[in-house]
């Protein structure tokens, strides 16, 4: 099962549209995960139309139209893997322990908010992933997104993709 992980798209404030490379990844993914800060409901509609399966949450920059359609926390089981999605996890310091307390029955937690790619695991095995942002790099050198594979309840082949600078 192929996953595409996105967060913090901020459309159309930070970019007019998702990069074509991301749309190609949407089309080849079995599951698209978006960890909030969509900003415009139009992207939700587009991703729902073009994704085989979409799992998403709202973020702090998402208004009532998105909050009416998306939860603040999403959970799913993907081929035996227990996935949770949330927008904010708080400060980087103490994140692993805090998230382990919040999500004790989770294998992988996808989050956003910081626009900073993140890939760590707790000693108990909770994997924490933040794909960064494909449209707003902030202080990061690149705009980014992640892909991963799930097989038999295990996450593998997690790849952070760097996007070329926008012209």
Which tokens hold the place of 29? 């993914």
Please report, rounded to a whole number, the percentage of residues in the chain having pLDDT higher than 70.
Answer: 99
Which string of DSSP letters, residue by residue, matches 43-62? HHHHHHHH-SSEEE---TT-
- Token pair 């799930």 is found at 150
Give me the helix-helix angle, 41-50 and 20-28, nearest 10°.
40
Q: Could you give the number of structural domains in the chain?
A: 1
pLDDT of residue 167: 56
Calpha distance 161→147 (Å, rounded): 8
How confident is the model over 12-62, as pLDDT tens digits? 987 899 999 999 999 999 999 999 999 999 999 999 999 999 999 999 999
Contact by Cβ (8 Å): 86, 114: no
Contact by Cβ (8 Å): 58, 29: no
Average pLDDT over residues 78-84: 98
Residue 149, domain CATH: 3.60.21.10
pLDDT of residue 13: 86
Domain hosting 105: range is 2-163
Rg value, the chain, Cα: 15
Calpha distance 69→116 (Å, rounded): 26
**Burial class of 5 by CB neighbour count within 10 A (0 to 12, 13 to 18, 19+):** buried
């Amino acid at each position: 099962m192929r996953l595409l992980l996105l967060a913090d798209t901020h459309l159309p404030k930070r970019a007019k549209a998702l990069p074509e490379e991301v749309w190609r990844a949407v089309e080849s993914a079995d599951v698209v995960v978006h960890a909030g800060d969509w900003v415009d409901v139009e992207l939700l509609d587009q991703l729902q139309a073009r994704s085989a399966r979409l799992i998403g949450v709202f973020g702090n920059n998402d208004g009532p139209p998105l909050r009416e359609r998306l939860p603040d926390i999403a959970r799913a089981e993907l081929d035996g893997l227990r996935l949770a999605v949330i927008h904010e996890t708080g400060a980087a310091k103490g994140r692993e322990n805090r998230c382990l307390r919040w999500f004790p029955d989770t294998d992988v937690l996808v989050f956003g908010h910081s626009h900073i790619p993140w890939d760590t695991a707790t000693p108990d095995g909770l994997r924490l992933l933040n794909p960064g942002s494909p449209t707003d790099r902030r202080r990061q050198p690149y705009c980014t997104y992640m892909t991963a594979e799930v097989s038999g309840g295990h996450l593998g082949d997690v790849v952070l993709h760097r996007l070329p600078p926008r012209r």
